[in-house]
Homo-oligomer: A and B are copies of this chain.
Amino acid sequence: MQQSPVPPEPPIYRRIADGLREAILSGDLRDGDRLPGENALMARHGIARATARQALSVLINEGLAVPKRGSGVYVRQFRPIRRHGSRRLSRGQWGRGEAIWDSDTRGRPYTVDEVYIDRETAEDAVARVLGGPDVWVRRRRYSVDERPVQLSVSHFPAALVEGTAITSEDTGPGGVYARLGELGHAPAHFTEEIRARMPHPHETVQLDLPAGTPVIVIARVARTADGVAVEVNEMILDAASYVLQYDFDS
C-alpha cells in the first residue's frame, strides 16, 4: 500500500501563474488588460526577478498573454474567423446561429499579401498523391484586417497546368478551379487532413505569431470525379484566428 504522501506544494512561480490564469479565465482580467509586471510580482511576492519572469513565461507559453517590450505583459484576445469545409448541409434549417463557439461571421475580406509561383520538385508525399514530382507551386499569404492569418501552398501536376493561367499570377475569373474545369479536370472530391502543432520559426515570422500560439495545418487534396488528384494544398493557419467547421451526415 502506498502511504498517501503529503501533496507537494507547487513551486512559487507556478502558484503565481495559476493565480493570474484564474483571473484571466474567470474574466477578472480581460482582453488587452495589463498584467502585473516583473517588478510588481517581485515586490508583491518577495521573489527574485528570474522567478517572476518564469511565472509570466508560463502564461505567455500558454498563449494567454503577450509581452510588449518596454511596456508590459498583456492579456491576449481570441476572435476567430470561421472557415467552412463541407457546408453542403449547413444551409438548411439547422445550423443558423447555432454555433458552439463565437466567431466573426462578418465576412471580412481576405487580402493576398504575397504570391510566389514556381516550378518545383515536390516532396515525396505530394509526389505520390499527384502521380509525379513535377509540379507548379503557388505560395500565398493571406491577411485579414492587416493581420497575416494563413500561409498556403498549392501544388499542381506540371503536365496538367503547363502553359495555362494557373502558372501566372492572375489566374482569371473563378480562380484556379475554374481553369481546371476548362481543362476538363474540375475538382469534385476533397479530402482534408488536419493537424495542430507549435509553429516552426519561419512560420512564426511570416504569421507574426506570439509565443504560445499553435498552428493548424491542413493538407487538402482535390480530385476530379474520376478520382484523379489535381491539387494538393497545404495551409498553415494561425490557430488563434480560426474556427474550422465541417458539416456532413451519417
On A, residues with C-beta under 8 Å from B are 18, 21, 25, 50, 61-64, 78, 80, 85-86, 88-90, 92-95, 98-101, 125-126, 128-129, 187-201, 211-212, 214-216, 219, 221, 223, 227, 229, 232, 234, 239-240, 242-250
Q: How far is the CB of A188 from chain B (nearest CB, A)?
A: 6
Rounded to whole angstroms, the CA-CA distance of A62 and B194 in the bound complex is 18
- A195-B90 CB under 8 A given contacts A98-B221, A214-B214, A232-B100: no
Rounded to whole angstroms, the CA-CA distance of A189 and B250 in the bound complex is 6
**CB neighbours of A50 from chain B (8 A):** 50
A61 touches B245 (CB 8 A): no
Question: Which of B187, B192, B201 contacts A250 (CB under 8 A)?
Answer: B187
B86 touches A248 (CB 8 A): yes
- A211-B61 CB under 8 A given contacts A128-B98, A227-B92: yes
Question: Which of B62, B64, B125, B248 contacts A248 (CB under 8 A)?
Answer: B248
B100 touches A189 (CB 8 A): no
Interface pairs A-B: 8 shortest CB-CB:
A86-B248, A196-B196, A214-B214, A94-B227, A100-B219, A196-B239, A194-B244, A62-B198
Rounded to whole angstroms, the CA-CA distance of A90 and B80 in the bound complex is 29
Rounded to whole angstroms, the CA-CA distance of A240 and B217 in the bound complex is 12
State the number of copies, please. 2
**CB neighbours of A232 from chain B (8 A):** 100
- A191-B249 CB under 8 A given contacts A61-B198, A214-B197: no
Rounded to whole angstroms, the CA-CA distance of A110 and B234 in the bound complex is 30
**CB neighbours of A98 from chain B (8 A):** 128-129, 221, 229
Q: How far is the CB of A234 from chain B (nearest CB, A)?
A: 8
Q: How far is the CB of A59 from chain B (nearest CB, A)?
A: 10
Residue of B nearest to A223 (CB): B94
**CB neighbours of A240 from chain B (8 A):** 197
B250 touches A95 (CB 8 A): no
Question: Which of B86, B212, B223, B243 contacts A246 (CB under 8 A)?
Answer: B86
Rounded to whole angstroms, the CA-CA distance of A92 and B188 in the bound complex is 13
Q: How far is the CB of A68 from chain B (nearest CB, A)?
A: 18
